[in-house]
Copies of this chain bind each other. A is one copy, B any other.
Amino acid sequence: MAGQTIEARRPSSRSKREAILTAATASFGKDGYEDSKWADVAKAVGIGSTALYHYFESKLHCLYSIMADALEGRLKEFEADTKGASNFHEALVTVLRAGFDLTEQEVMCNRVLVAEQALLAMHRTSPREEEARQRARERTRDLEFAWATFLSRAMEQGAIPEADARLTTRAVLGLHNSVWHWYRSGGDLTLQQVSDFYVARCLAVLGVPAEAPAGTRRRKAKK
Interface residues of A, Cβ cutoff 8 Å to B: 32-35, 115-119, 121-123, 163-164, 167, 170-171, 173-175, 177-179, 181-182, 189, 194, 197-198, 201, 204-205, 207
Contacts and interface: CB of A to CB of B under 8 A. Distances in A.
> Which 8 pairs between the two chains have the least Cβ-Cβ distance?
A174-B178, A115-B118, A204-B204, A201-B205, A32-B121, A175-B175, A171-B201, A167-B197
Nearest to A198: B171
A32 B164 CA distance: 29
Q: How many copies does the complex hold?
A: 2
B116 A118 contact: yes
Given A174-B174, A178-B178, 7 more contacts: A167-B194, A170-B178, A171-B197, A174-B181, A175-B175, A201-B204, A204-B205
Majority secondary structure, A binding face: helix
Nearest to A32: B121
B32 A181 contact: no
A179 B175 CA distance: 10
A116 B33 CA distance: 12
Contacts of A204: 201, 204-205, 207
Contacts of A170: 178-179, 182
A116 B175 CA distance: 18
Contacts of A115: 117-118, 121
14 contacts: A34-B119, A35-B123, A118-B118, A164-B197, A167-B189, A167-B194, A170-B182, A171-B197, A171-B198, A173-B178, A174-B174, A178-B178, A201-B204, A204-B205
A36 to B, nearest CB: 11
Nearest to A28: B118
A107 to B, nearest CB: 16
Contacts of A198: 171
A171 B178 contact: yes
A154 to B, nearest CB: 16
A26 to B, nearest CB: 16
A89 to B, nearest CB: 17
Nearest to A202: B205
A173 B207 CA distance: 19
